[in-house]
Amino acid sequence: MEQVAGGDREVYAILVAHHLGPISAYAQRMTGNAANAEDIAQEVFLRLWLKAGDFDATRARLTTWLHQMAHNLAIDQLRKRHREVSLEVIDVPESTISSDPGEERHPVTQALQHLPERQRSALALTYYQDLSNREVADIMGLSTRAVESLLVRARNAMKIRLEIAQ
């Protein structure tokens, strides 16, 4: 990170290549929209370049720091979307709303999108991003116990939604 802070573009490119996939996947799971996920990933890596000097390896791993930025951006975007006119109020059929024309809407993906944002984030960070509960707690600004509680509720909600979908 010191090299990136010093303007080393090659090291930056290596970091982006290594972390882009996981950050993009997390943003996609949080937003349910490929374009929004791409915007979040671009913003994360712009911030990586601009704020590399702010990174403190004694406080967090790089992957935790990047996921924390992605988490905050995704939450901001979700909250902004909720403030805008709700498509549910307009009563537009869900089949006409596509986040990505080629994207398959797997039942697990659909169930994940219906979770409250904090449960969705805890689940995505733990199971899809393979982060520890401690890292998830750091990213979300919660205690480990709170993350564990969110995971229990998220798993239960997913189980119910998937049983209904059958």
pLDDT at 57: 92
Domain boundaries of the chain, sorted by first residue: 2-165
CA 88 – CA 20 distance, rounded (Å): 32
| Lowest mean pLDDT, pick from 62-76, 103-117, 151-165 | 103-117
Homologous superfamily (CATH) for 2-165: PhyR, sigma-like (SL) domain (1.20.140.160)
User: Is 112:29 a contact under the CB 8 Å cutoff?
Assistant: yes
CA 67 – CA 139 distance, rounded (Å): 7
pLDDT at 94: 46
CA neighbor of 67 nearest in space, from 121, 142, 148, 143: 121
pLDDT at 101: 45
pLDDT in tens, 53-89: 999 999 999 999 999 999 999 999 888 876 554 444 4
Q: Per-residue pLDDT averaged across 116-120, rounded? A: 92
CA 138 – CA 134 distance, rounded (Å): 6
CA-to-CA dists, residue 109 to 15, 89, 115, 166, angstroms:
28, 23, 10, 14
pLDDT at 83: 59
Q: Identify the band that residue 92 occupies on the pLDDT scale cut at 50, 70 and 90.
A: very low
Tell me 84's DSSP state.
Answer: S
| Lowest mean pLDDT, pick from 85-99, 100-114, 132-146 | 85-99
pLDDT at 110: 86
User: Is 135:104 a contact under the CB 8 Å cutoff?
Assistant: no
pLDDT in tens, 5-62: 999 999 999 999 999 999 999 999 999 889 999 999 999 999 999 999 999 999 999 9
CA neighbor of 7 nearest in space, from 62, 49, 57, 66: 49
Alpha helices in 6-128 (DSSP H): 9-31, 34-50, 62-83, 87-90, 107-113, 117-123
Query: Tokens representing 65?
Result: 């720091």
